[in-house]
Amino acid sequence: MSTFQAPKGTYDLIPPESAKYLAVREAIAAPLRNSGYGYIETPGFENVELFARGVGESTDIVTKEMYAFETKGGDQLALRPEGTASVLRAALEANLHKLGNLPVKLWYSGSYYRYERPQKGRYRHFSQVGAEAIGAEDPALDAELIILADQAYRSLGLRNFRILLNSLGDKECRPVYREALQNFLRGLDLDEETLRRADINPLRVLDDKRPDVQKQLTDAPLLRDYLCDACKAYHEEVRELITAAGVSFEDDPKLVRGLDYYTRTTFEFVHDGLGSQSAVGGGGRYDGLSEMIGGPALPSVGWALGVDRTVLALEAEGVELELPASTSVFAVPLGDEARRVLFTKVTELRKLGIAADFSYGSKGLKGAMKSANRSGARYTIVAGERDLAEGVVQLKDMESGDQRAVGVNEIVAELESKLG
C-alpha cells in the first residue's frame, strides 16, 4: 500500500521540533504586541491581480514563483507569496485608515507559498511573522520596526546576525537614478531576459545573484549618490534613531529588496551561518503601494521575518531555546478504580494550569512508567488498589527518583505548591 507524502519543497512541523517554531513565533510577536501592534489574519489566497500590481509584474515572485490558479467559478486567484499586499488590502477594505488613529499598526503570522527550487532554508511553503505600520511617514516608525526585530532576535539568544540598511529614494529622485542605471546596464554584456528586466525595473538587476552579472555591476551607479535632500535627511534620521537605541547596522548601498513596492528605507537581516540563503528577514517603506492597489495615498513601512530561517540561524549558533516542559505531571493508574480517581485528579490539575497527562490504554506498570519518562514529566502519580484502600497515591520525583505516599485528597494541593 502506498502512503502519501508531503508535496515536494514543503515540510511538516512535528513535536518536539515544532515547539521551537512556536517559541520563535512567540518571541517575534512579543515586542510587537508590546508596542501597539494588533493581530490581523488574512486568507491564504487572494485575487491574482493584487500581487501582480502590488508585488510587481517584473519580480521573480510574480513571473516565476506564484501559485496562480483559476477557480470553478472562473476567478483568477493566487496563493499568497508574501504578506504585505494582503494586509494592506484588508486594512483598506475595513477602512482602518479612516478611524483617525494613524498609523494603523498590525502584526501577522502565517504560511506563504512560492514555487522555487527547494533547498535548505528555501521551501515552497514557509512561515513568517510580519508587521506593518500603515498611514504615517515618520523616520521614527521605520526605526521602531528595525529596533523591534532586533529585540526579538536578541530575546531568542541570536547574536551573529547583521542588519543591512539602505535608502531607495522616492518618486522625486528615483526616476533620475533609474535612468542612470538603465544607461549603465545597456552597456553591459547581459542576456535578453536580464535586459528586459532592466527596462521594466533596473533595480531588480542589482539583486541578480549570478556571479557573472555581479562582476559586471562593480561600477554601477549607486542610489545614495542620487538621493534628493528630503530622502537624505529622512535616511539620516532613521540611522540616528537606530544608533541611539544601541542597535548596530551596516550601510549597504547596493541593497534592494525583491519586491517592487519599496521606497526610501529598506533593510535586511542576514545571518552568516546559513550559506547562500543568508537573509532571515527584511522589509522597508512602501509609500506608493496603497495607490498601486487602488487605495488612497498611505505611506507605510513593514517587515517580515522567516520563522524557518530563524530556527536554522539558532541551530547554526548552537542556541538551545528554553522550552517549557509539555508535561509536568504524569498519572499512572493500576486498575479500574485508580483510573477513575487519577483521571479526576489530572482534570483538576489541568484546571489549575498545570500540564498533566495520563497513561491511556491498559498498559502495565513498566510500560506506563516508560511513557511517563518519555513525557518529560517532573512528577509521576502512581496508584493501585492497595494504595487507594489506604487513601493514598504514590508521588514519584522523576529527577531524584524519591517516592512517597501522599493522601488522595492532598495530592492536587501538594503538586500545586511544588509546581505553581
Smallest CA-to-CA distance from 34 within 104, 88, 105 is with: 105
- Position 258 scores a pLDDT of 58
Quick one: average pLDDT of 366-390? 94
pLDDT at res. 206: 80
Strand, helix or coil for residue 96:
helix
Q: What is the pLDDT of residue 282?
A: 94
Mean pLDDT of the chain: 91
Report whether 221 contacts 184 (CB < 8 A). Answer: yes
Q: What's the pTM value of the predicted model, to 2 decimals?
A: 0.89
Fold of 329-419: Rossmann fold (3.40.50)
The stretch 111-129 carries a mean pLDDT of 87
pLDDT attached to residue 117: 80
pLDDT attached to residue 339: 95
Residue 58 is predicted with a pLDDT of 60
Structure confidence at residue 277 (pLDDT): 65
CB atoms within 10 A of CB 328: 20
Q: What is the pLDDT of residue 192?
A: 84
Average pLDDT over residues 388-412: 95
Other Cβ atoms less than 10 A from the Cβ of 330: the count is: 27
Q: Can you identify the CATH homologous superfamily of domain 18-173+227-316?
A: Bira Bifunctional Protein; Domain 2 (3.30.930.10)
* pLDDT, position 288: 87
Return d(Cα 50, Cα 286) in angstroms, integer. Answer: 15
Give percent of the chain with pLDDT exceeding 90.
70
Stretch 277-283: mean pLDDT = 88
Q: Tens digits of per-residue pLDDT, 63-103?
A: 778 899 999 999 999 999 999 999 999 999 999 999 988 99
d(C-alpha 193, C-alpha 392), whole Å = 78
Amino acid 236: pLDDT: 97
Q: Please choose, from the candidates 176, 189, 185, the residue with its C-alpha nearest in 3D space to the C-alpha of residue 225.
A: 176
Segment 285-307 mean pLDDT: 93
**Res 270 pLDDT > 90:** yes
Does pLDDT of 261 surpass 80? no
Residue 217 pLDDT? 85
Grid cell listed for 376 = 518529560
Compute the average pLDDT of residues 359-371.
91
Residue 1 pLDDT > 60? no
Domain edges within the chain: 18-173+227-316, 329-419
- Using one digit for the tens of pLDDT, what is the confidence trace for 182-228? 888 888 888 888 888 888 778 778 877 788 888 888 888 888 899 99
What span, in angstroms and rounded, lies between the C-alpha atoms of 95 and 98?
Answer: 5
Residue pLDDT, tens place only, 95-105: 999 998 899 99
Asked if 179 and 198 touch (Cβ cutoff 8 Å), the reply is: no
62 — pLDDT class (breaks 50, 70, 90) = confident
- The pLDDT assigned to 182 comes to 87
- Stretch 320-333: mean pLDDT, rounded? 91
List pLDDT tens digits, range 7-24: 998 999 998 899 999 999
